[in-house]
């Protein structure tokens, strides 16, 4: 079997997935713009770290040479501007280049990480529409030669995630958190469970052409999640649910702050419930884990990132 190329392999989900694949005997190839920053991944057996620009079509084709499969985990939660072009570049244009590279290099197996409630036509945000468009690119261009599987997770948690830890930083700094969307609903899903589902799907021909929604075992409102974070941090914070007009103003201001803690596009994504109609974990015999004990350890600093990678590879 050839190597598995993991686009986005240096990110949050990618690191856990790379560890699992390496443990299962796969040769893993991960492209990165900065090889030095990702050198800690080289402790994984059989892992090849390649400095490359995946948005360059020629380099992407070379990356896929001698690979039996490619997994695309690339995604952004915010763009530099606000017109959607950044999302289209990261999600849609990359999907188009990836399909062309698969055809040129002969890669026949592709796994795509999308997002719950992605929809090219009816998605309320640039993020969800572009994720839906990327799905359409893959479905329309796969033909008979490329076997694809699409995963649509709810918000993913685990050591180093960009959701719980972002809100933890915000809550530590302010006694009052006013924001719109506190009634938004999520089914948080553990990164190790997502990695397990992808790894199991990779050789499973029953998953070919399928799209799976992935959710944790419980549904929470954003307010319930934030109150849980406050309890675990042993802090008291007032949460104020803003009307949409004030929420949009707050999000517009947030777009100018370092790191874009909240954008108008984020706010639009919150208008749809990130919960599953049918949980795809059942197809793989996986019982998804609840968030409380794992997030508790992460918030208290008891789990470091490399330990999480090793733990994820053992499960």
Total length of the chain: 315
Amino acid 262: pLDDT: 86
- Label the pairing between strands 220-221 and 185-186: antiparallel
Q: ∠181-132-223 over CA atoms, to 5°?
A: 15
Amino acid 103: pLDDT: 97
Within 8 A by CB and 6+ apart from 311, the residues are 192, 303
Task: Write down the pTM of the prediction.
Answer: 0.92
Amino acid 1: pLDDT: 61
What does R_g of the chain's alpha carbons equal in angstroms?
19
Find, among 41, 50, 1, the residue nearest to 18 by Cα: 41
Amino acid 299: pLDDT: 84
Amino acid 160: pLDDT: 85
Strand spans (E) along the chain = 3-7, 28-32, 47-51, 67-72, 109-113, 147-153, 156-157, 176-179, 185-186, 189-190, 210-214, 220-221, 238-241
Q: ∠72-140-114 over CA atoms, to 5°?
A: 30
Tokens of 210: 């399928």
CATH level 2 (architecture), domain 3-154+190-215+277-288+304-314: 3-Layer(aba) Sandwich (3.40)
Beta bridge partners of 7: 72
Amino acid 115: pLDDT: 98
Amino acid 304: pLDDT: 43
Per run of 10 residues, the mean pLDDT along the chain (length 315 residues) is 91 96 96 93 94 97 97 95 95 98 97 98 97 98 96 95 87 91 96 98 97 98 96 93 92 86 92 96 97 88 43 41
Amino acid 175: pLDDT: 93
Task: Break the chain into its structural domains and give their ranges.
Answer: 3-154+190-215+277-288+304-314
Amino acid 162: pLDDT: 83
Amino acid 88: pLDDT: 97
């Amino acid at each position: 079997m050839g190597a598995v190329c993991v686009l986005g392999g240096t990110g949050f989900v990618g690191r856990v997935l790379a560890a699992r694949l390496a443990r299962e005997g796969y040769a893993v190839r991960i492209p990165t713009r900065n090889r030095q920053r990702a050198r800690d991944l080289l402790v994984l057996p059989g892992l090849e770290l390649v400095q490359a620009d995946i948005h360059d079509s020629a380099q992407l084709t070379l990356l896929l040479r001698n690979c039996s499969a490619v997994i695309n985990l690339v995604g952004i939660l915010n763009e530099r501007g606000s017109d959607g072009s950044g999302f289209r570049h990261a999600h849609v244009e990359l999907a188009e280049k990836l399909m062309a590279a698969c055809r040129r290099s002969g890669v026949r197996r592709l796994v795509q990480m999308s997002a719950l409630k992605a929809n090219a036509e009816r998605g309320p945000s640039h993020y969800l529409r572009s994720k839906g468009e990327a799905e359409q690119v893959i479905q329309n261009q796969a033909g008979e030669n490329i076997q694809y599987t699409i995963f649509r997770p709810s918000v993913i948690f685990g050591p180093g995630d960009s959701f719980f830890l972002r809100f933890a930083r915000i809550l530590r700094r302010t006694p009052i958190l006013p924001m719109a969307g506190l009634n938004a609903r999520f089914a948080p899903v553990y990164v190790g469970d997502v990695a397990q589902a992808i790894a199991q799907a990779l050789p499973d021909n029953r998953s070919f052409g399928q799209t799976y929604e992935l959710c944790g075992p419980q549904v929470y409102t954003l307010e319930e999640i934030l109150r849980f974070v406050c309890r675990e941090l042993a802090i008291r914070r007032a949460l104020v649910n803003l009307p949409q007009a004030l929420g949009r103003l707050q999000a517009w201001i947030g777009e100018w702050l370092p790191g874009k803690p909240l954008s108008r596009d984020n706010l639009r994504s919150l208008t749809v419930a990130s919960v599953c109609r049918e949980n795809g974990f059942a197809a793989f015999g996986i019982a998804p884990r609840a968030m409380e004990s794992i997030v508790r350890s992460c918030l208290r600093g008891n789990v470091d990132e490399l330990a999480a990678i090793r733990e994820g590879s053992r499960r």
